[in-house]
Structure 1
């Protein structure tokens, strides 16, 4: 048998491990910011019918431009966008891979601000783009001076700003984003994977004025479509054309396109769940503060709380009780996704039962 060590693996991949949060079969899964509510029976039946219809032409390649889906996404986003402003791929992961394949590469840099999404360095590594980070402010926020100073120092081709930020849930206001666009020539990607959970405005409002702005989204969270793998961006048509150059042929299956279009047709129903999940997350944060935990202000469907002297022990104690959350973010913190009311009640009860009591928290 041949081993990985016997293969001519790229030098920068030697010793690397595949990315991925734990996938463990437990009763309560609150670790990857999924929507805990599956599509309703009505939506599932429509998705099934759409797949049956698509199956009639599976002997042919799918629409490689996904123009129908891109048009539906443009209509959902509004702001006068059309299909030419939208690019769609297998999750926002592939969207980012397309962007850095097109605009990154050897001799180029991508800049972002930590703590932030843990896949960003892997996008950079896989596209041979230099990955540069600058710390956020102590409260995990960003302002124009910090971002523009980092851009001036590092001269990135692409800059990533995540809002609401994963794992902290903190947001960046439009004035800051616009100041960065006006004060630099970087391609600015505003990652809005959790925007539907936020009460603040979207960077989509700035697209018409700023051709170097790219707004990235996903259908995994708000549309309960994590298993469908649909991510997308909105940008100037020229940026979409750049992604079209580097995409693999027929990168989005006919089934995926069909399911996503059904979900978009039911956006009102699905977005009602978004509001309830955001409320569930804020209620958990209020409860955690009342128990003496430090909680980061979030505008997403997840909460970052701590600080734990030994966060792994707490993570394991919860897992032993059948509750899976995420060991991520700044030292001493854990992240929990909003679940159903019953799931969150069980989590709160389990945290209260932890033994020995957490240092600095009331027992």
Structure 2
């Protein structure tokens, strides 16, 4: 009788769902997905939740393979020596292999007053907490969005389109990922929406109070609602469990996405740091990393050497309200190009199509595990690895 293999996937985001679905392609593998919420969160729609145009959740029945068992709980510790995880509810579960896909959330702000008076938006509970605050604020209330990455741009645009008086505090530059041409186009769209953009050397936030935002150059902006979108952090589960992490707390792995400490632990998504050269935290990389992490586990079960992962980018598609958006194209190594498109309804429809296609990919992998195998290859990664080889930590005695 064939031996059964138990695989636990910790985290039910984009990477975790894709990994869990892919694992079901092999008979004799019991897959358990552990997630703190009973529904999947579309993080790329959280700004819409705040604006009231979407609830940003999807039933797992739509996107999770029937053979995957869902446990609604939080893993508080991974015991690699016993191959067990401890749950917040008090129970434990054993595993033969574990996929670490805990994702990311808001970084703890170090700015005085930000934790007390600003509203983060990186996870579902934060967006749900912010929604009624925005709704209750007078129409004339000043709304300040701190951070001008994609989340900040989308949140500021969403609220401004609803008639809110929005100020976007960028730090040094608006849309740091964007090419200068795209940045100019975005700035024009924000101006059209009535968003006040503050950028430059003095536009760093130094303090937040209940009704104001203080800047490095001495300015104080009145703010009825302050929204914090600056930076991402990852859960500290790996570090608490004694596993090696990078400076941000992402699990250190080799190029097969296998932990540098334990061959039974494989990482995917925002919480992975392959060769200490992690790819950009994004849904775009997560849906590529998830299935490949699963393939690493399946290869080990079959007694084969896992393949190195491949991830490539096409750029970013950013909504600028419900009626406009921009596509910033990039090379596969995530270096932006001068090609971008800013448009009205057509670009807004394209962004909506991107959001829907991500759900479709997960549902497709649930129905036909192994059907999605088009991984973009970043051919510059090998050069980066060679350049960093002298800095890489020496790892000994990985546990089998």
| TM-score under structure 1 length normalisation | 0.30
**Greater percentage in strand:** 2
**Greater percentage in helix:** 1
| TM-score under structure 2 length normalisation | 0.28
